[in-house]
Amino acid sequence: MPEGKALVLFWTKNGNTEKVARRIHDTLKKAGMDVSISRIQKKKIEVEYLDYNLIFLGAPVYENLSPKLVLTFLHKNRRREGVELIPSAPEIPGVAAAPFCTYGGGHTGYNEAEPMLKHIGQYFEHEGIRVVEYIAVPGFFPEADESYNTDGRFGDIRQRPDEHDLIEVEGSVRGILRRLHRVLPLGNLNL
Ligand SMILES: Cc1cc2nc3c(=O)[nH]c(=O)nc-3n(C[C@H](O)[C@H](O)[C@H](O)COP(=O)(O)O)c2cc1C
C-alpha cells in the first residue's frame, strides 16, 4: 500500500480549473505529501488510482457534466487491468478521492455543478474508493454572453476563481487531511 502519496488529475480549457488544481497541489505539498499533478490527455493514458492515498480529479462543468474528453478518460480508465467492479463496492482501505470542478453557475448556481461532481464520484465509489469531499469553485465563462458572468446567481464572476476562492480550496484540502490522517496512511503531515 502506498504511503503519503497524492495525485491531482485535471483538465482545463481556459485555465480556471488549472488554478484550482495547482492550489490543491501546493496545499498538499506544503502539508508534506508526495504529490503529482497531471493534465488528463486525449491519448490513452491509464492511471492506477491505487498507487495513491488521495486522488483529486477535476474539470470544468460542461452542460452539467464533465467535458467529453474527461468522460472518455473516466470510462476507459475504469476498464484498466485489475479493476474489479464487485457488488456492494466494498471499500478499499488506504485510499480516498475528492472530485472538484469550476463552473459558471449562471443559471442555477451550485445545482449546475452537483451532477458533474457526483458523476465523477461514482467512478471512484464503484471501484471501492471512498469519496470524501466535493469541491466546486465558481469560474468565469469566457465563451458565454457577458450577462452569464454578471447577472447569474453568483453575481459578477469575471475575476473568478479569485484569491478568496483559492484560499477556500486550501481550507477544504487541509480539512480533508486533518479529518483523514488517522485512517489513511498519509505520512507525517504538518497540519
Ligand atoms: C462548452 C461549455 C459548456 C459549459 N457549460 C456549463 C454549465 O452547464 N454550467 C456551468 O455552470 N458552467 C458551464 N460552463 C462554464 C465553465 O464550466 C467555466 O467557465 C469553467 O470555469 C471553465 O473552466 P476552465 O477555465 O478550466 O476551462 C461551460 C463552459 C463551456 C465552454
Q: Residue 117 is inside which H or E element, if any?
A: helix 114-127
Residue 45 pLDDT more than 90?
Answer: no
Closest residue by CA, ligand 1 atom 22: 60
172 lines ligand 1 (CB under 6 A): no
Give the pLDDT score at 44. 75
Under 8 Å CB-to-CB from 67, ≥6 apart: which residues?
11, 13, 59, 60
How far, in Å, is the centroid of ligand 1 from the Cα of 179?
A: 31
Mean pLDDT of 64-89: 96
Average pLDDT of the chain is: 97
Domain 5-180 CATH superfamily: Flavodoxin domain (3.40.50.360)
Residue with cell 500500500: 1
What would the mean pLDDT of 83-106 be, rounded to a whole number? 97
Give the Cβ contact number of residue 137 at 10 Å.
24
pLDDT band at 41 (very low <50, low <70, confident <90, very high): very high
Per-residue pLDDT reduced to its tens digit, 110-132: 999 999 999 999 999 999 999 99
Q: Distance from the CA of 105 to the center of ligand 1, in angstroms?
A: 8
Bond prior to 138 in cis (omega within 30° of 0): no
Domain residue ranges in the chain: 5-180
